[in-house]
Homo-oligomer: A and B are copies of this chain.
Amino acid sequence: MRSIETGEPGHSADQVTVRRTNLALVLRHLRAEGPRSRATVAAELGLTRSAVSQLVAELAERGLVREGRREHGSVGRPGTTVELAGHGIAGLGAELNVNHVNTIALDLAGEVLSERQVALDARTAPAEEVVERLVELVERTVADLARRDVQPVGLTVGVAGLVDEDGVLTHGPNLGWRDVPVGPMLRERLRPAYDVRVDNEGNLAALAEATPGDPDRRDVLVIFGEVGVGGGIVADGRLLRGRQGYAGEFGHMIVEPQGRRCGCGRVGCWETVAGLRALLDQAADPDDPVRDPSLSLDQRLTEINRRADLGDTRTLAALDQVGRWVGVGAAVLANALNPAAIVLSGYFAAVGHHMRSAIETALVDGVLAPGAGGTRVELSTLGFTASVRGGAQAALETVFADPARVERRPLARGALR
């Protein structure tokens, strides 16, 4: 029996839609569950074996899956497994930061195909010039890919600030930018054949930390700290953006109404007590090198860690005090969201092993549910690349949503029969 999922030519528009939906279903299933045989995929998705074989063949022609090792599964005869490949395509991620612009290209299996960075000072340079540096970097990244015969399927750029649906950075307090049309500028300069999107860097960092297939990483809150504090929420495996895309602005939750004035003009925002500046101000005098902005942040955080390791009282007290405030804000969010994990990213990850106990104590104290409702505190292992990786993953999502976007090509060696 030939079913309507197989997608042979001559079928109606309805049937083509069903076939595209099923292509995406199979591709996402392989991502969520890992390599497995066609028979296993068929049983798990409730499709016929012949339909799955034809869907897998089409995904292979589009370069998205390949043969893996042989499997002795529970369903039927041992078969060859199928796994994500996607060496022919890449998602591009970029980040436009206060101190640098950078790019990354990831294939469908998450492997890095290209990685580039250029230092600059986005506070003093005009926005047009910063965007132009990013354009050059993206063009070089696309050239890296072209040499390997890899097509970009999308570019997502992370920025520190509020981004509207058209990719306009409406308010970036730490960049000192207002209403900069980053997305439209990039589209005009790059004239790309792929989609260009702009998103908040905290949202993208959250995407990078979440693993849709893992129950311990399906409901994740990422808190991203530098001078500002932001983040993102992944609920049930999906990024929560909110009505206008402004979700995740954790840094401006008011936690200390009698506290310090924030860069945004309000008093007592979380970032005034949990941001990098709060830590450095308490840990060192103004002329201390850890407060010298001309040194790299990595160097300064390494020095903070060195002093903490040596037991320096002032450094440890500062880490404890800021850690307590990180935990107070984390508890506010955990009462509302009860995430499986709160992942600390950015500067929090760099010095977090010295803050963790203060954070956990404040979290358990502040959450009504017993044992903090099971919420674990974790330190990101992605370093400062979380946002740019999340950007590349967001770009690849367009393929997981509709694999037929990627053209069929002659099958290369090592691909599926």
Contact = CB atoms under 8 A, between A and B. Distances in A.
B46 A249 contact: no
A76 interface: no
Nearest to A333: B336
Given A14-B46, A162-B368, A256-B257, A373 B246 contact: yes
Interface stretch (A234-242, A390-398, A409-417): A234-242
A159 interface: no
A382 interface: no
B369 A246 contact: yes
Nearest to A3: B4
Contacts of A337: 233, 240, 242, 247, 336
Given A243-B375, A254-B255, 9 more contacts: A1-B4, A15-B48, A242-B373, A246-B338, A252-B368, A253-B335, A254-B328, A256-B257, A336-B337
Contacts of A3: 3-4
Given A254-B255, A255-B254, A339 B14 contact: no
Contacts of A213: none
Contacts of A15: 46, 48
Contact of A236 (B238, B245, B254, B256): B238
B244 A48 contact: no
Interface size class of A (residues with CB under 8 A): 35 or more
Interface of A: 1, 3-4, 12-18, 21, 42-43, 46-48, 162, 170-171, 219, 233, 235-236, 238, 240-250, 252-258, 264, 266, 328, 331-333, 335-340, 365-370, 373-375
Contacts of A246: 338, 368-369, 373
Contacts of A16: 46
Contact of A339 (B243, B331, B366, B370): B243
Nearest to A244: B374
B236 A219 contact: no
A238 B219 CA distance: 13
Contacts of A1: 4
Contacts of A258: 257-258
Contacts of A46: 13-18, 21
B335 A250 contact: yes
Contacts of A171: 368-370
Contact of A335 (B4, B249, B370, B373): B249
Contact of A338 (B14, B241, B373): B241
A331 B257 CA distance: 13
A330 to B, nearest CB: 11
A248 B21 contact: no
Contacts of A244: 338, 369, 373-374
Contact of A233 (B14, B43, B336): B336
Nearest to A376: B243
Contact of A43 (B14, B248, B332, B340): B14
Nearest to A218: B243
A235 B47 CA distance: 30
8 contacts: A12-B48, A17-B46, A242-B339, A243-B339, A246-B373, A249-B367, A250-B335, A254-B366
B338 A266 contact: no
A366 B266 contact: yes
A50 B233 CA distance: 42
B243 A236 contact: no
B264 A368 contact: yes
A101 B250 CA distance: 38
Nearest to A262: B368
B370 A170 contact: yes
A17 B44 CA distance: 10
Nearest to A258: B258
Contacts of A266: 365-366
